Each structure stands twice: as structure tokens, then as C-alpha cells.
Amino acid sequence: MALSMPLVATFPEQNLPENLRTARAIIDDISLGKQPQFNASVKSTTDAINMIFIYAAQKGFDKLARFTFILGADLNIPDENGRSALLNTFLCEKVNIRDWNSEAVAFNQDIVLSNEEIRERKYAIAKIILSSGRLQLEEREKNQILLAAIEAFAPLVTINNLLDIGCSIEASESEGSTALMLAIRSGNRNAARLLLNRGALVEVQNKYGITPLMLAAQRGDQELVLLLLNDGAQRSTQDRFGKSAAHYAARIGDLKLFTLLSEHPLFERIILRLALCA
């Protein structure tokens, strides 16, 4: 694949760290068939390619990512924060579109109109990485990537691919919330369904004793509540404060869901009335 080169354009040089400025110049030289000039911050062509690939994954510069991927970028090299390129593709924070486009033009990337377009370009980079056969990550990082992908509402095919490469379906974050719990908490119903279909545990608690069923009740999501009950979630399980899923439904005033989750309807309806009057 060929890019329109050189990469250098109108984006102010001072807005890039020295190592990225050097790496960008080296990529320019490579694309133009020139002998690259190295320095202390970038000591080889390999360093430059890897540096620019990570940068492309962070930004969502898909054309640049493809170019450096073809040049042999190491997909497992972490950035300065210890994050792999793949993890960076799922860290989709909102950015200033004008600033992003200014930087994109400097790297011969197509401009975008929304953060959603940036997100889609990042997912395109994730697809390149996942289909490469060159990914070698530790289990801890694989699990971190799965959780990030779920919270970022990554495409279901991507989440499936992550599970296929060895990401644990029971991956959990620091407070013990599993991938399924994060999917429910973030409102990612499609990911929750996928995880349930692939056998995610439903009767599991985080450090606060909260279960997937409680989270679904808290969101008022009857469809997920029914799916979880069908897969064996227990109505009677209590969190650390002695509250069941029915109590979570009571807090949001969902009588229908509350009744569905109640083990003792008459008694629980009294609790609901008290909760609504509190």
C-alpha cells in the first residue's frame, strides 16, 4: 500500500514531541527512497515505524496505521503508558474535531466530521491488528483490552475476536466487576447478550457483592433481567448491604420489574411502597 507522501504538512512541528517529529521525518525519508537520519530519540527505522504505528492507533489515523503495519510495525510494543496499540484503539475519548483534523491533514489522513468517525477508524485499526497473526500479549493485558472494548461499544465481531484470541470471558476490573457486569452497567446490551451466549457466569459478585442481575435491575432493563434469570441468576442473592435485585428495582420505582424479581410479592410490595415514599 502507498500513502501520499511526504507526511509533513501544515501541522505545527512544536505540537509534536521530539521523538515523534524525528520518527515522522524518518517515515518521510523511507517513503521517498531517501536515507533516513537518526538521532538519540529514534535510533533506527524500526523504532520510527513502531513509534508512528502506536501514534496512529492512539489517534485513529487508519491510513497511517496500515502503512506502518505493512512496513512491519511491532504490534506488541507498548506506548509510554504501557498500553499496546490494540488497547489504544478502544480508548475513545472525545476530542476537538478541528484539532484532530489539523493533525490528520499533516499525516495525509482523511478529515472527519464527528468523534464517531474517529471511533470507527480506531476499530478499523483494531481489525488490522486482530487479523494479523502477529499479536502476542500477556493474559492481563488481553483481559484489560476486552473490558475496554466492551465499555467502548466496540463491534460485536471485534469482541468475539478478542474472546477467540484468548481474552477471558470472566475478565474483571480492579473492583471485581466482570466483562458481563461492565456490559450491563454501561448499557451495552448487545455485548451482554453476546457474553451470555458464550457462557459468561451470571451468579458472580464484585467486591461490593453486586451481581449482573442487580445491575440489570438498577438499569430497569427487563430484557436482560429475563435473560439472566433464564441463565440461572438468583433473585435471593444479596449485596454487602443485604440488598437483593428486587431492592435495586425498587430504588428506581419499577413495579413490574420489582414484582418479577420478588421472591415474596406481598411483603416486597410493602417495601416498594416504603421505598417510593422515602
How much is the pLDDT for 166? 92
Backbone angles phi, psi at 178, to 5 degrees: -80, 175
Q: Could you tell me the pTM of the whole model? A: 0.83
How much is the pLDDT for 31? 77
How much is the pLDDT for 42? 85
Q: Which residue in 30, 29, 26 sits closest to 39, CA to CA? A: 26
C-alpha cell at 32: 521517498
Q: For residue 262, count other CB atoms closer than 10 A to its CB.
A: 21
How much is the pLDDT for 101? 86
How much is the pLDDT for 265? 53
- Residue 238, Ramachandran bin (φ over 0: left; ψ between -120 and 50: alpha; else beta): beta
- Partners of 178 in beta bridges: 172
Start-to-end CA span in the chain (Å): 65
CB 7 within 8 A of CB 106: yes
Give pLDDT < 70 ranges for the chain: 1-15, 264-278
How much is the pLDDT for 269? 55
Interval 80-135: pLDDT, tens: 899 999 999 999 888 889 888 888 887 778 889 999 999 999 999 999 999 999 99
Q: Which residue in 73, 42, 46, 45 sits closest to 57, CA to CA? A: 73
